[in-house]
Amino acid sequence: MSGSGVAGSGSGVGVQGAVDGPSSRTAWRHPHLLDVDTLSRDELRTVLDLADTMADRRAADPPRPLAGRTVATLFAEPSTRTRVSFELAARALGGDPVSLDAESSSLAKGESLIDTVRTLEALGARMLVVRHARSGAPQLASEHFSGPVLNAGDGWHAHPSQALLDLYTLRQVLGAERLAGAKVCIVGDVLHSRVARSDIWALTCWGVDLWITGPAVFLRGFDAWARALPGDRKLTVTGDLVRGIEGAAAVMALRVQRERLEGAGAPSEAAYAARWGLTEERLARHAPDAIVMHPGPVNEGVELPPDVVAGPRSVITRQVANGVPVRMAAMALLAERVA
Ligand code: CP
């Protein structure tokens, strides 16, 4: 299940120089952010702590490690949250974001991803953010671009900045002490979810007692993954929703990917909502203290009813807002590699 990961250089880039902020100098080994599967817990903490700094200083005194640098965002799949927050983050760090929409670019005329990446670099891009329907596309881009590449979601493979902001939101809302060892349950179409895969890496690395549940057809292969995780990581796979969410501190519903529901034994949308929808009644009975998360976009009335989306348990809007300081942190950590 592991993907290409975050390529490590081992050279240890200092955080302090990049952001002019944290008091301690922390090692950061990675030239790109392609996944979170090779991030250590200390590195996760570095990103989260730096995101706190970014959130505090964003309005008044932002660090500007990308001043004068062009940051290209190449989105070959739809996005609202990730794209806008990466662009806001680049601007907040002093960078000059340039956005490429695949449908109106020369990609639509048959230009290859590699040629597009080389073209963006020739035009002055020094950092590159890539979303693509093909797993591995950001890795490929990183092999043809001399600056840092950040994966904004590739196929079913990975969505590392989403996992970082999910972890950040959990720590912010539950508190660091409660989060260590807390039960968190991801519900739904795990099989097709790049968010779930990156969350599994990040949350189990952090020490969360992670559960995943959903229709059996969406859990295929995850038992083997759970068994293959290092012994100190906790991932439990269950086809029993009640067992999955019972006593959880947080539940995260995944988007039901409508295009995949009808095939291969998957339930209809209505059947999914009836059997797996996280209604307030279900939550109150089985996970009364749980906060509700969702990476978005939400199919209201399917994975979550509108009253839960907008209700007091929901931290979905907070997740979205946290996308900016978390992506600022990731970009700042990579900024020392920008020419
Ligand atoms: N969570 C997420 O990736 O949302 P967008 O598709 O809107 O970027």
CA dist., res. 229 & res. 235, Å (int): 8
Q: What is the pLDDT of residue 26?
A: 66
Q: What letter would DSSP give residue 300?
A: B
Closest C-alpha to ligand 1, atom 6: 79
Q: What letter would DSSP give residue 298?
A: -
Q: What is the pLDDT of residue 261?
A: 59
Closest CA to 339 of 148, 202, 191: 148
CA dist., res. 191 & res. 220, Å (int): 7
Q: What is the pLDDT of residue 57?
A: 80
Q: Pull the structure tokens for residue 331.
A: 């970009």
Q: What is the pLDDT of residue 264?
A: 65
Q: Which atom of ligand 1 is nearest to the CA of 82?
A: 8
Partners of 71 in beta bridges: 97, 127
Closest C-alpha to ligand 1, atom 3: 82
Radius of gyration of the chain (CA): 19
The rounded Å distance from CA 337 to ligand 1 centre is: 26
pTM of the model: 0.92
Length of the chain, in residues: 339
CA dist., res. 51 & res. 163, Å (int): 13
Q: All domains of the chain, ordered by start, with CATH?
A: 15-159+322-337 (3.40.50.1370), 160-319 (3.40.50.1370)
Q: Is 203 left (phi over 0), alpha (psi -120 to 50) or beta?
A: alpha
CA dist., res. 198 & res. 252, Å (int): 13
Residues with CB under 6 A from ligand 1: 79-83, 153, 162, 295-297
Closest C-alpha to ligand 1, atom 5: 79
The rounded Å distance from CA 318 to ligand 1 centre is: 14
Q: Is 180 left (phi over 0), alpha (psi -120 to 50) or beta?
A: beta
CA dist., res. 277 & res. 12, Å (int): 45
The rounded Å distance from CA 333 to ligand 1 centre is: 22
Q: What is the pLDDT of residue 338?
A: 86
| Best residue for ligand 1 mutational test, from 150, 161, 162 (most atoms within 8 Å of Cβ) | 162
8: Cβ contacts below 8 Å, ≥ 6 apart: 29, 30, 31, 38
Strand blocks (E) in 161-294: 183-187, 209-213, 234-238, 250-253, 291-293
pLDDT tens, per residue, the chain with 339 residues: 333 333 333 333 344 444 444 434 466 899 999 999 999 999 999 999 999 999 988 777 778 999 999 999 999 999 999 999 999 999 999 999 999 988 889 998 989 999 999 999 999 999 999 999 999 999 999 999 999 999 999 999 999 999 999 999 999 999 999 998 999 999 999 999 999 999 999 999 999 999 999 999 999 999 999 999 987 999 999 999 999 999 999 999 999 887 665 566 788 889 999 999 999 999 999 999 999 999 999 999 999 999 999 999 999 999 999 999 999 999 999 998 887
The rounded Å distance from CA 62 to ligand 1 centre is: 25
Q: What is the pLDDT of residue 259?
A: 65
CA dist., res. 161 & res. 169, Å (int): 12
